[in-house]
Amino acid sequence: MQITEHILTGNDCYKAGRTITPKGIMVHSTGVAQPRVEVFLDAWNKPDVSTCVHAFVHQGGVVETLPWNWRGWHAGPPPKGGVSANNTHIAFEILEPAGHTYQGGSMVGYDAEKNAGYFAAVYRNAVELCAYLCRRYNLDPMEDILDHHEGYLRGIATNHADVAHWFPRHGKSMDTLRADVKAELEGGETVTQEQFDALLAAHRQEVEGRPAETWAQMAWEKSVAAGLFDGTKPQAPLTREQAALVLERLGLLEKP
């Protein structure tokens, strides 16, 4: 996933300049059949636009449009007077493909088969962006990612349907997104304890298999001949009990 930066400095939301401590991620879709990100970058980069998000997710990648810790305008005032997710959540809009219209909040004429490739690309980019933000702000993918619709149900956003009105057309949901972000985080750059232990064990085995270094070779051979060591693993670390055994074999532990 490629993130490019195009901060909407002409948007009143950017100019307001308020910042937040990100506590979660809110996923939106634009609600209009327009896959070209440049259209939004132009339309939103001016005064008197009542909305602004931190990023657009499009087919080719991600465009960051507000600093991640800016306060965005995406969740509106919750209907029951709760605290808006604007104060807590990083938000991005996923661009929808061309070809459909809307009637009463539902997609009309949406061709899921034709849009399968498009959807797979934006979904993948959304997963990777969420994983990036979870890492960066130490967020829990299972708890801290929700869509606009879930935000409404939790009383922190206006009553919108996105993205629950769209994802199921492709067999996806916010649950699959959260699980995919979790998998991305677990399979990503971080090494698990098990993988780390295995790497360490392999390294030790490799070191122990090496022959004695030239500078130590004569002494090593003499030690083996004298019965102090059994001749294997010349570069293995020596434990305290092995040292004690060597000292005893040298006769250095006899009482005076």
Does 89 bind Zn ion (CB under 5 A)? Our answer is no
Q: Which of 54, 58, 89, 148 binds Zn ion (CB under 5 A)?
A: 148
Does 54 bind Zn ion (CB under 5 A)? Our answer is no
- By beta-carbon proximity to Zn ion, the closer residue of 53 and 185 is 53
Name the residue among 86, 91, 107 with its Cα closest to residue 167: 107
- By beta-carbon proximity to Zn ion, the closer residue of 118 and 166 is 166
Q: Which of 100, 149, 160, 182 binds Zn ion (CB under 5 A)?
A: 160
Does 100 bind Zn ion (CB under 5 A)? Our answer is no
Name the residue among 156, 146, 20, 135 with its Cα closest to residue 88: 20
Q: Residues 11, 49: contact at Cβ < 8 Å? A: yes
Does 162 bind Zn ion (CB under 5 A)? Our answer is yes
User: By rule CB under 5 A, what count of residues binds Zn ion?
Assistant: 4
Does 28 bind Zn ion (CB under 5 A)? Our answer is yes
**Site residues, Zn ion (CB under 5 A):** 28, 148, 160, 162
